[in-house]
Amino acid sequence: MNNKPVKIVETVLRDGHQSLAATRMRITDMIPVLEQLDEAGYHALEAWGGATFDSCLRFINEDPWERLRTLKKHLKKTPIQMLLRGQNVLGYNHYADDVVTEFVNRSVDNGVGVIRIFDALNDVRNLEVAMKAAKAAGAHVQGAFVYTISPYHQQENFLQVAKELVQLGADSICIKDMSGLLAPYTAYDLVKALKADIQVPIELHTHYTSGMASMTYLKAIEAGVDIVDCALSPFAMGTAQPATEAIVAALEGTEWETGIKKEQLYPIADHFRSVKKELAETFKLNTAIDIDTKVLTFQIPGGMLSNLLNQMKEQGMADRYPELLEEMPRVRADLGYPPLVTPTSQITGSMAAFNVMLGRYKVVPREIKDIVRGKYGRTPAPIDPEFRQLIVGDEPIITHRPADDIAPQLVNLRKELAEQGYPNASMEDVLSYALFPEVALQFFKNNR
């Protein structure tokens, strides 16, 4: 019967708590069940990267590199997977090629086995260096394209990006649907097209934000998707992934049966149920995040909606929140329909907020100018020349790979750290400092 088993990547150690518990899970919350997770039969455990790096240093006084080494000590069989934002690494702007390469090397040396690499604009030029480095370091390189909907995003566009990623050496391709916008039948068609055209495994990553995710997985599985991302039930649904146990159960007795025993997952889930409760109390979190079908119209990831509402409240303008929701898609269209994922979602959101509070484009943050100038890469749709003139005037437009303009940074970063009193900093510490200078220095002050 079991001739096309679907593989599962477990996200509870990264995206599950990033989506539902503000990335506050600590390594001590993970250690008690790592051996059990390792034995469960997962394809990989997504446990590092994304927002975890920043969160470790900033909020929970933990060294992210130390976390990675600890995970590796306990996970003997199952590869550790990380999420990397291409030339942005895990920060919010582009870094020099030497930083990107060294970061990838250190990640692999410290225990990462699978690196999922994406770019917020799907500009493949921003992935070249990271993918090459990951390949050279011996990791499984997963090229990801960000799924979104707009008048400029058709199936052909996504296929084209996937082909370019395979040409760059991707060992597998991930459809990364961070806002839960991928509808079931669209997923079926997209996976079918990818499977017909591309010879490497296809993985689907989605979020429950719109309420469609489990249906989307079933249709994608029928179309031949190889791997799906799921989270154990306490950290599933809401704005996270579909529940692992439910997907495993749904496929039992079919040709796609996963080979994972749901009964083995129950005690692990029980552990995380108490972790979630404890995190909510310790960090004053609301972990009961509902689905929000409005995302299908506004394309704004769930966590961002609540941030924007809070911003408006702080300004005493909560009553104008509906205007903000209307303004968001307009700003996105002005900016050439970028997919809304870090950092483009934050940039688009704050621009929309400024427009509602102060008048349209009366105040323009530097990041908006950078998107318009091409500093983040190519936008999916060309930016209207009149709009560009309004935002950046006659400033030069960047048409080459943006990181070509960034001189090597590592030597200077090491020098700066020495001046701050850390002459013998490890390369890992230099990289932490490269990504989050103030936060890392504070962390070193408390821990070194």
Distance CA 155, CA 51 (A): 29
CA angle 117, 119, 125 (to 5 degrees): 95
What pLDDT sits at residue 93?
87
What pLDDT sits at residue 295?
84
Contact (CB, 8 A) for 140 and 171: yes
Distance CA 67, CA 64 (A): 5
Topology alike, domains 7-283 and 300-403: no
- Band (302; pLDDT cuts 50, 70, 90): low
Percent of the chain with pLDDT over 90: 87
What is the model's pTM?
Answer: 0.95
Specify the CATH number for 7-283; select among 1.10.15.40, 3.20.20.70, 3.30.70.1530, 3.40.50.10860: 3.20.20.70
Percent of the chain with pLDDT over 70: 99
Which helix (H) or strand (E) segment holds residue 410: the answer is: helix 410-419
pLDDT tens track for 116-139: 999 999 999 999 999 999 999 999
pLDDT at 164 over 90: yes
In the numeric block, which tokens belong to residue 110? 């410290």
- The CATH class, in words, for 300-403 is mainly alpha
- Band (312; pLDDT cuts 50, 70, 90): confident
Distance CA 204, CA 226 (A): 8
What pLDDT sits at residue 116?
98
- What ranges do the domains of the chain cover? 7-283, 300-403, 408-445
Q: Where are the beta strands (DSSP E) in 86-215?
A: 112-117, 140-146, 172-177, 202-206
Nearest to 84 by CA among 109, 101, 66: 101
